[in-house]
Amino acid sequence: MSPLILGIETSCDETAAAVIQDGCRILSNVVASQADLHARYGGVYPELASREHMLKIIPVIDTALRDAQVSWRDLSALAVTHGPGLAGSLLVGVNAAKGIALGQNLPLLGMNHLEGHIYANWLDAGLPYVAQTEDVFPLVALIASGGHSSLVLMRGHGEYTELGHTIDDAAGEAFDKIARLLGLGYPGGPAIQRAAEAGDAAAFKLPRAQTQRPYDFSFSGLKTAVLNLTKKLDARALLVNDIAASAQAAIVDMLVEKTQRAAETCAARMVLLAGGVAANQRLRERMRARVACPVLYPPPKLCVDNAAMIASAATWHYRARAHSGWDLDVIPNLKLTLAVMSG
């Protein structure tokens, strides 16, 4: 029988719930975004985020069940993100999930948010997706979000080896900080992408940092270079677009170069893009042009935080009977390699 899983995600500033069948079919996918609430602070305000999750969590879960036209009795399990993320935000989702799982007598699956981002690529959402192909491993996944940037070798479900990670800012954080310097607002990634469309990517020569380890990333030098540039130049609209385009090109070049090298060295069968930055159009195009094996990425709304990806990742945990206990706790700094099978 194909598992029907309700996923819950509250690790940062989106309250989300989704119902997924068989790991790939999206029956419902509800996301209540707090972006507008946090925009005036230029980033996520943790205290505000957890309070907002408290208000939204039950209506969002109700809507996910209603949209999917399923009842509690139809579900196979309940999956919830328990890390990494903001402690106060994670607690809202984990406690809601525990209460419901206990009340409805459903298995509880504690999920890693980063594993969820990778599994957004298993969802059937109009683009090529992993579940369509039989031999997919080994694969290389680039996780690039607001809080994380790493390159992961995946040899099978749950078999993760981290090849490298950022030594300073995450790629999404670099987009957000540079957007702030340019007065483009929050979240910065989509704003920079939009501004870059009207700009010249070759206008400014910005640094592409080299790192000691071959698969690590570093974005802080780029941020400083942009800061110096904005001090030197008058921030007229035209220049803002050119700086945005040049900065986007630098971030994308760094991500593509390391990913391409990892895919080649690991003889990857495919490359998956994951996390909010995977929504970036230039990143998608450049990666496809440079990498020899197929490059997959989810549609933009499944790249950013959502619960469909959590329920998708939970499906193989469910099949492996890797249920969590009632002592499931939030782990704000949960690592991808440690989360697997333990819940």
Pairing of strands 159-165, 149-156: antiparallel
Q: Which is nearer to ligand KG4, 164 or 190 (CB)?
A: 190
Does 84 sit near ligand KG4 (CB under 6 A)? Answer: no
What x-and-dash track marks residues 122-161 binding Zn ion by CB under 5 A? -----------------------x----------------
- Both tokens of residue 148? 């994380």
Asked if 304 interacts with ligand KG4 (CB under 6 A), we say yes
Nearest-approach distance from CB 210 to Zn ion, in angstroms: 27
CB 157 within 8 A of CB 316: yes
SS3 assignment, position 42: coil
Q: Cβ closer to ligand KG4: 83 or 147? A: 147
State which H helix or E strand residue 119 sits in.
helix 113-119
Q: Which is nearer to ligand KG4, 28 or 248 (CB)?
A: 248
Least distance in angstroms from the C-beta of 188 to Zn ion:
15
The answer to whether the peptide bond before residue 138 is cis (omega within 30 degrees of 0) is yes
User: How far apart (Å, rounded) are the C-alpha atoms in residues 43 and 37?
Assistant: 10
> Is 279 one of the binding residues for ligand KG4 (CB under 6 A)?
yes
Instruction: Enter the DSSP assignment of 214.
Output: T
- Show the binding pattern over residues 262-301: x = contacts Zn ion (CB under 5 A), - = does not: ----------------------------------------
For Zn ion, how many residues bind (rule: CB under 5 A)?
2
Nearest to 48 by CA among 180, 59, 39: 39
26 vs 6: CA distance, rounded Å: 11
**Any contact of residue 199 with ligand KG4 (CB under 6 A)?**
no
Closest approach, Cβ 214 to Zn ion, in A, equals 25
Sole binder of Zn ion in the list 305, 307, 324, 334 (CB under 5 A) = 305
Task: Enumerate residues 145-184 that contact ligand KG4 by CB under 6 A.
Answer: 145-147, 172, 175-176
- The span of 16-24, 187-195, 203-211, 325-333 binding ligand KG4 (CB under 6 A) equals 187-195
3-state secondary structure of 150: strand
Reference 341, options 131, 112, 153; nearest CA is 112
DSSP state of 227: H
Q: ∠306-316-261 over CA atoms, to 5°?
A: 75
CA within 13 Å, CB half, 94: 27
Instruction: Return the one option of Zn ion, ligand KG4, none that residue 277 interacts with (CB less than 5 to 8 A, by type).
Output: ligand KG4
Query: How many C-beta atoms surround the C-beta of residue 216 within 10 A?
Result: 19
How far is Cα 31 from Cα 25, in angstroms, rounded to an integer? 17
Q: Which is nearer to ligand KG4, 115 or 305 (CB)?
A: 305
CB of 34 or CB of 76, closer to ligand KG4: 34
CB of 251 to ligand KG4, least distance (A): 8
CB of 187 to ligand KG4, least distance (A): 4
Beta strands in 89-138 (DSSP E): 108-112
Nearer Cβ to ligand KG4 (84/107)? 84
Residues of this chain that interact with Zn ion (CB under 5 A) are 145, 305
Residues of this chain that interact with ligand KG4 (CB under 6 A) are 12, 145-147, 172, 175-176, 187-190, 193, 275-277, 279-280, 304-305
